[in-house]
Amino acid sequence: MGQKSIKVTAPATVSNCGPGFDIMGFAINTPVEEMIVRLTNKPGIRISKIVGDKNKLPLDVKKNTATVALHHMLARVESKFGVELEIKKKMISGSGLGSSAASAVAAPFALNELLGKPFTKKELMEFALLGEEVASGSIHADNVAPCLLGGFVLIRGYNPLDIIPLAAPKDMFCTILHPQFEIKTSEARKLIRKNFYLHDVITQTGNVAGLVTGLLKNNYELIKRSLHDLIAEPARATLIPGFYEIKEAALSHGSIGCSISGSGPAIFALSKSQEEGIAIGRAMKKVSSKYTKENIVHVSPINRVGPRIIG
């Protein structure tokens, strides 16, 4: 069968992207998830160990996003081999950085490489989404899609799934402030209202259209005008101590846009250079440290590749 094991990384992702609730996301270079996937003679799927998760993630293959994705993938392969995983988490669950999506992407990507790439990216997306469903309770592609494809993506629709890769300015950087506590996506979703005024929907739609256009045209001023959210951010800001003060610190230090990454508590801020991104991160961390004891900052260009083989 050729190669028996492979080591891969899958990137963290920012979902929602301000006004793009459930329909936009992008990948960043750091943090990443590392995973070793091995082919074994014994049929079935097994997780040998998970490190870096503070013993929170399940070893049960029916509950882990990586192994559920593999289960659906192996159902399409006629083989007597088995698969064993080692998972190294570098982003905790409930971070708002697509931790569960990274697992759901890394496993089928790695196995596909070991098998000689019998599946397309579209098919890998299907397996990863079914894995991610275990964590989120429903199908959401705004973390899985950018994790697998890299770059910015727009999810135009889910029935059928219609994913559109988006171009973005080449010099764009993302600063992530990650206060070290957990927010469960299921709990964060409960805070969002079910009904909105028509004028708010119109404003939100205009912001999404403006953000997409700004990315495609490398227009930072348009991106800045458009990166405003009337749906998720106002509801979820209450879960992040000092959020609006942190956001103001980012904007006052040159960020072209700042909002909550996914369900939080991670907060993202976009900038035009690494130097600006570092300065923005210092300012955000200084404010957040007044409210949360431990905060981690990442400054990264946009990841335009997705998962990678590293060994």
Helices 65-74 & 121-136 angle (0-180, nearest 10): 140
Taking the CA atoms of the chain, what radius of gyration do you get in angstroms? Answer: 19
Active site residue 292: no
Dig out the tokens for 30 from the structure: 């750091």
List all residues 6 or more positions away from 199 whose beta carbon is below 8 Å from its beta carbon. none
Give the C-alpha separation, 85 to 87, whole Å. 6
Catalytic option among 185, 233, 276, 292: 185
**Helix, coil or strand: residue 210:** helix
Catalytic option among 132, 133, 233, 276: 132
Q: How far is CA 26 from CA 2, 63, 84, 107, 117, in A?
A: 34, 26, 29, 20, 24
Give the C-alpha separation, 90 to 172, whole Å. 23
Dig out the tokens for 19 from the structure: 């006004």
CB 177 within 8 Å of CB 253:
no
Residue with tokens 């700042």: 258
Residue with tokens 């006052």: 252
Active site residue 133: no
List all residues 6 or more positions away from 44 whose beta carbon is below 8 Å from its beta carbon. 82, 83
User: Which residues are part of the catalytic machinery?
Assistant: 132, 185
